Amino acid sequence: MLSRTADHLYWMARYIERAENMARVLDVTDNMSLVPNAAASEAALWGPALEIAGAVTAYEDLHDTITANEVIHFLALDPRNPSSIYSALLSARENARAVRAAISSETWENINSLWLEFAQFQDMRLLEGHLHEFCDWVKSRSHLFRGVSFGTMLHDDAFRFLRLGTFIERADNTARLLDVKYHLLLPNDEEIGGAVDYYEWSAVLRSVSAFQAYQKVFSDSIEPWRVAELLVLRQDMPRSLHACLSEITAILDQLPGRRNSECLRVAGELHARLRYGRMEEIFQGGLHEFLEDFVVGNNNLGLEIQRSFLNAQAA
């Protein structure tokens, strides 16, 4: 297939996944604000959401203070923020439009109608009762996108590049979320426990749809290291780093070989760390360091995919 087509497919899926993850972060942060004493100030509550989005500087360029209203608008609807849900969905749709001949018409119509429906939220004041509805809508549109593409597209290389985009983006988002939250929630040498921690950690779990999975796997109280284990090492947890990398290596294995070796090597290395890693060792070296390394490694893998397949030169 055309390299440019593969590129558009890959980014289309990444942007949809990005929008979904942004919606999850917004939703959970908003929920936290309902818990008494959860955070000392709006800034303490909403600052981390900006951090997860990697949008702190962009926000500070436009605003002097951190308020719930402004952060929500900035992350959800602001066209000036390149990682807002608005920007992500617009980019997803523009990428889809560029390859509408290469995706099934159902997939295209799904993204196109997503974009048309988005207009209804554009002028809404989300904080005033519509944020939850909005986030639910984004999540369900993303689920629908994956379902429609999975169920209607030929499972050929086009589909594989699309799926690669989904999992590279998801791995990045889960790692960032966990890193920011763990950092915040686990001040040095402090005892853990109490209602606030419970809410905080259950919120983190809910933000990656892992609350029920946690109960099922551990059927025990919520402990931070178990949350980390679930989101890093569990292969059967769909948004964990291990699950993402398993998908990625399996997809890379199926792609045409000649240009693939460096991608396979980088992915294999990342995958092995998750597959054979033990949580105690990860904690010994520092979870933060581990996650930081992972984000860099995952990013390199993305660049390598880009170099090998998507920006293919004449040779």
Partner 1 sequence: MNMQVKLPFDEMLVDGVARDIYAAYADWLSNTPPEQLESKRQEAELLFRRVGITFNVYGETAGKERLIPFDVVPRLLAAREWKLLSDGAMQRVRALNMFLHDIYHSQDILRAGLVPNSILAHPQYRPEMIGVNVPGGVYAHIAGIDIVRTGEDQFYVLEDNLRTPSGVSYMLEDRRMMMRLFPELFRKYSVAPVEHYPHMLLNNLRAVAQPGIQEPTVVLMTPGAYNSAYFEHAFIAQQMGVELVEGQDLFVRGNAVYMRTTEGPKRVDVIYRRIDDEFIDPLNFNPDSMLGVPGLMTVYRNGGVTLANAVGTGVADDKSTYIHVPAMIRFYLGEEPILNNVPTYQLSKPDELQYVLDHLAELVVKEVQGSGGYGMLVGPAASRKELDEFRLRILSCPSNYIAQPTLALSTCPTLVAQGLAPRHVDLRPFVLSGKSVSMVPGALCRVAMKEGSLVVNSSQGGGTKDTWVLN
**CB closer to partner 1 out of 227 and 310:** 310
Residue 266 CB-half CA count within 13 A: 22
**Least distance (Å) between residue 172 CB and partner 1:** 22
Residue choice 34, 37, 40, 101 for contact with partner 1 (CB under 8 A): 101
Residue 155 CB-half CA count within 13 A: 6
Residue 275 CB-half CA count within 13 A: 11
Single-letter amino acid, residue 52: I
**Least distance (Å) between residue 148 CB and partner 1:** 13
Residue choice 49, 102, 270, 301 for contact with partner 1 (CB under 8 A): 102
Quick check: 224 and 185 in contact, CB under 8 A? yes
6 binds partner 1 (CB under 8 A): yes
Instruction: Convert residues 139-158 into a mask of x (bound to partner 1 by CB under 8 A) and - (unbound).
Output: ------------------x-
Residue choice 3, 67, 300, 306 for contact with partner 1 (CB under 8 A): 3
Question: Which tokens sit at 23?
Answer: 């919606």
Distance CA 218, CA 287 (A): 20
Residue choice 219, 258, 276, 280 for contact with partner 1 (CB under 8 A): 258
Task: Say what the alpha-carbon torsion angle 185, 186, 191, 196 is, to the nearest 10 degrees.
Answer: 0
**Phi then psi for 297, rounded to 5 degrees?**
-60, -45
256 binds partner 1 (CB under 8 A): yes
Place of tokens 């702190």: 56
Computed on alpha carbons and rounded to an integer, the radius of gyration of the chain in Å comes to 19
Q: Which of residues 111-130 bind partner 1 (CB under 8 A)?
A: 112-113, 115-116
Residue choice 15, 74, 108, 182 for contact with partner 1 (CB under 8 A): 108
Binding site for partner 1 (CB under 8 A): 1-6, 90, 93-94, 97-102, 105, 108-109, 112-113, 115-116, 157, 161, 255-256, 258-259, 309-310, 312-314
